Amino acid sequence: MASPVPSVSELVQEARRTYEQVFGGEAPEVAVCAPGRVNLIGEHTDYNQGFVLPMALPMVTVVVGTRTSGQSVSIVTVTKDVEEPNRVDFNLPSDGSPLSPGHPKWANYVKGVVQHYRAQPVPGFRAVIASSVPLGGGLSSSASLEVAVYTFLQQLNPDDGDKVAKAVACQQAEHTHAGVPCGIMDQFVSVLGREAHALLIDCRSLEATLVPLSDPSLVILITNSNVKHSLTGSEYPTRRRQCEEAASILGKASLREATMKDLEDSRDRLDNVTYRRARHVIEEIERTSQAAEALKRSSYKIFGKLMVESHNSLRDLYEVSCRELDELVAAAMEVDGVYGSRMTGGGFGGCTVTLLQAHVIDRTILHIQERYSGSPTFYVTTPSVGAQVLRLS
Ligand code: GLA
């Protein structure tokens, strides 16, 4: 059956208890949270200036803490399955010099956000982090941590409150301190997600359109393959480079500007791999616009068909799927009442997202469990709100 997700208040309680234990009985003054995300369609299109259609999840990262008078920062994570130390202490450089990434790795997201925070200088602080976003599961645990830390810093030393600039600063943190040249999708939806809505984000203009998604006859099921192949790290920057190369050969600023006709006209100037990468992106951008339209009309069959086309293209043209994700999608699609299913996120493991009729949820979970060669985890989710300040009562 589907796994329960701890509530935000349970996470806050846990973080608070740890804070009081670790920091000598003192109570935290601030609490914030920011969600993970699932992308419904529009994969590997964000760094090509295209469209994406994610929604924020009920799984969140919580930060509780207090501003201190000095320059020192102490952070503890309650996450138990990290192999690294769960506490880090460092001093904020007083001369504005950069905070270098190092160990533990999880602290690099915090350092990156401190570095890129838009209202410098960042004051000293103590904080505890707790999260219900599965780590490394492709549901943006890192973006939710970045956005939660940024939201925390906003309570200590407010910036101008520009939400898009906040997402961009968190994306920068990921680039410089985690070494992942990601697009804007994860941080954007973690900041701007809305309850009962998916977000159609135009990654060129950085404008978003809310698409209602609260039909009670519909369920959004996330299935975690619980595998993560080691390719993820090296393949993502390679894909990004291939797309930039394709755009440059086509004489375009990005693949967003290119049509399939442009691509076919230049086919003999592209090697086969670059051609296939570009084709996925150009068609996926188009599929994402169509899918958003279909969702607005409640045309779930069309939406589901586009999801499957997206998955097949990620598998065959973009080559970022893997056997486990393909198995999960194939199993889901065997159940009557399932509209569509696809891998979600960067690929090479992580999760699939499936859209189905609410009344077939139990049957679908059972069927996937039976057919999948690994051991999956299931989450039944609803579109949730973006980053928030929480009351500490
Ligand atoms: C990762 C990145 C995103 C996006 C997806 C693929 O999640 O962080 O920016 O590129 O992969 O769609």
Q: Are strands 72-77 and 125-131 parallel, antiparallel or unpaired?
A: parallel
Alpha helix stretches (DSSP H) within the chain: 8-22, 106-116, 141-156, 163-173, 185-192, 232-249, 260-265, 272-296, 300-316, 323-333, 361-371
Task: Supply the DSSP string of 227-291, one letter for each residue.
Answer: EE-TTHHHHHHHHHHHHHHHHHHTT-SSGGG--HHHHHHTGGGS-HHHHHHHHHHHHHHHHHHHH
Ligand 1: distance of its center to the CA of 182 in Å? Answer: 6
Question: Separation of 7 CA from ligand 1 center, angstroms?
Answer: 26
User: Nearest CA to 377 among 111, 59, 53, 93?
Assistant: 59
Q: ∠ at Cα 81 (78, 82), nearest 5°?
A: 80
Tally of CB atoms within 10 A around 288: 25
Helix axes 163-173, 106-116, angle to 10 degrees: 130
- Amino acid identity at 297: R
> Quick one: pLDDT at residue 82?
60
Please pick, among 186, 265, 268, 271, the residue that the annotation labels catalytic. Answer: 186
Please calculate the CA angle 194-307-54 and round it to the nearest 5 degrees. 20
Distance CA 47, CA 241 (A): 10
- Other CB atoms closer than 10 Å to residue 22's CB: what's the count? 16
Any idea which residue has 């198995």 for tokens?
327
C-alpha–C-alpha distance, residues 287 and 205, integer Å:
19
Task: State the Cα–Cα distance between residues 190 and 186, nearest whole angstrom.
Answer: 6
* Most ligand 1 atoms within 8 A of CB, residue of 38, 41, 46, 307 to mutate: 46
Query: For residue 167, how many C-alpha atoms fall within 13 Å in the half-sphere facing its CB?
Result: 22
User: Would you call 160 a catalytic residue per the annotation?
Assistant: no
How many angstroms is it from 169 CA to the middle of ligand 1? 16
Range 276-280 contact pairs with CB under 8 angstroms and sequence separation of 24 or more: 276/316, 276/317, 276/318, 276/319, 277/239, 277/242, 277/243, 277/246, 277/317, 277/318, 278/242, 278/243, 278/246, 278/247, 278/250, 279/313, 279/317, 280/44, 280/313, 280/314, 280/317, 280/318
> What's the confidence (pLDDT) of residue 335?
98
Alpha carbon distance 260, 282 (integer Å): 7
Question: Degrees (nearest 5) of the Cα angle 192, 194, 200?
Answer: 70
3-state secondary structure of 120: coil
Amino acid at the residue 390? L
**Dihedral angle over CA of 38, 40, 42, 47, nearest 10:** -10
Q: 50 in ligand 1 pocket by Cβ < 6 Å? A: no
pTM of the shown model: 0.97
Atom of ligand 1 nearest to the CA of 44: 12
* Contacts (Cβ under 8 Å, ≥6 apart) of 248: none
Nearest residue to 228 (alpha-carbon basis) of 105, 131, 322: 322
> How far, in Å, from the CA of 237 to the mean position of ligand 1?
11
Ordered per-residue pLDDT tens for the chain, 393 residues: 888 899 999 999 999 999 999 999 899 999 999 999 999 999 999 999 999 999 999 999 999 999 999 999 999 999 876 678 899 999 999 887 889 999 999 999 999 999 999 999 999 999 999 999 998 889 999 999 999 999 999 999 999 999 999 999 999 999 999 999 999 999 999 999 999 999 999 999 999 999 999 999 999 999 999 998 765 678 999 999 999 999 999 999 999 999 999 999 999 999 999 999 999 999 999 999 999 999 999 999 999 999 999 999 999 999 999 999 999 999 999 999 999 999 999 999 999 999 999 999 999 999 999 999 999 999 999 999 999 999 987
Q: Two tokens at 177? A: 């301190």
Residue 232 has what pLDDT?
A: 62
Q: Is the CB of residue 347 below 6 angstroms from any atom belonging to ligand 1?
A: no
CA distance 269 to 141: 39
